[in-house]
Amino acid sequence: MVRVIELARSTGLELAVRSGGHSAAGHSVVDGGIVLDVSDMKAIDIDVERHTVWAASGLTAVELAEALDEHGLAIGFGDTGSVGIGGITLGGGVGYLVRKYGLTIDDLIGAEIVTADGAILRVDADHDPDLFWAIRGGGGNFGVVTRFRYRVHEVGQVLGGMLILPATSETVAGFIAAAAAAPEELSTIANVMPCPPMPFVPAEHHGELVVFGILACVGDPAAAERAIAPFRALATPLADLVRPIRYPEIYPPEDPDYHPTAVSRTMFIDHVDGEVAALILDRLAASDASVRVAQLRVLGGAMARVPVDATAFAHRASRIMVNVAAFYDGPDDKPIREAWVTELASALDQGDHGAYVNFLGDEGVERVHAAYPGATWDRLAAVKARYDPTNLFHRNQNIPPSA
């Protein structure tokens, strides 16, 4: 690791760092440079009594989830099991435990990182605290994290899975209202989209607009059933796969050969009422993209109680995270889908101009500033100047060092 970083520094070759390889902007690969691939680093050291774990940065979310589940423990990552824990953690981590236990970084209590000068540092609240602050949300700007130390939680069985409802303005707005009113033990994702041809949904509904909900509720089973009930009451479900599961089962199986191309826009909004829901449905119906979606995640809970300056994630007060996306077929189709995504995102703008860095593509410096506004950017740039003054680690959503 140190020798690779020294080689990149001494030769001037561009350096990319790869963990799970889910970078939408393509930052984890580079032509004519060096790819530092940590995906073979899989060590796990679980301390069951202290409820902590040291996890190597090559692990995927589902790999670590399965190892922890053997002890009835869990940590919240994102919504895709094959994502590497390195990228999801460094950018924040919004997943199925976000309302109960906060972001992934809220459970990060230490890390081992190799910096641009080849130093190997153990960082936490007491050792290099500014660097520890920066890697909790600031991405891969500051070095290569080789190991993460997390606080983990007793989770075990959850009530979770897919709930698919017909999409109307009432069900879309009702889903968001129910998610906002739910106990913090419940976190949800609502994908408003045409229904895929799934065998457990009647064929006559394939292609119709649906609320493709994914729900996960931890804690007492009876209380979890009560928390889920308002969603089931919104309409007769087209499919109800919500059931008691082990936490890692919330990550569905993935086809390793499935590599769709998409354009997307990440943003935050304040509310989804009937008018906003109708707008979403109208725009989805007007598109003929093979897949198009407005994904809505109600935030709040434990995530919102962390002071905004405690980490480099600056959007604690934002209420709903939205991702608008459309698949495209070839280079000629891409501008058409980009225009649709841009138009819908503009129509949904409610004045919160933040962005979630883990969902940014190659969108330019203004969008990176949106992820790290104001004082957050200034502090990150100062930390960057101390630990990576030549900007060796720049294949990321880059924060150049301050002068």
Q: Encode pLDDT of 78-130 as tens digits.
A: 999 999 999 999 999 999 999 999 999 999 999 999 999 999 999 999 999 99
Residue 315 and residue 190: Cα distance in Å, rounded?
Answer: 20
pLDDT-based confidence at residue 3 (cuts at 50, 70, 90) = very high
* Whole-number Å distance between alpha carbons of 280 and 169: 9
The per-residue DSSP string of 37-90 comes to E-TT---EEEETTTTEEEEETT-BHHHHHHHHHTTTEE----S-TTSBHHHHHH
How many Å apart are CA 131 and CA 163, to the nearest integer?
Answer: 41
Look at residue 158 and tell me whether its pLDDT is greater than 90. yes
* Residue carrying structure tokens 């890390």: 111
CB neighbour class for 3 (10 Å; exposed up to 12, middle 13-18, buried from 19): exposed
What per-residue confidence (pLDDT) applies to 260?
87
Distance CA 79, CA 189 (A): 9
pLDDT-above-90 percentage for the chain: 94
Q: What mean pLDDT comes out for the span 61-81?
A: 96
Confidence (pTM): 0.95
244-283 pLDDT, tens digit each? 999 999 998 888 888 889 999 999 999 999 999 999 999 9
Alpha-carbon span 395 to 113, nearest angstrom: 17
Give, for 380, the enclosing helix (H) or strand (E).
helix 374-387
Q: What is the C-alpha separation between 41 and 308, in angstroms, rounded?
A: 32
Average pLDDT over residues 294-323: 98
DSSP state of 13: -
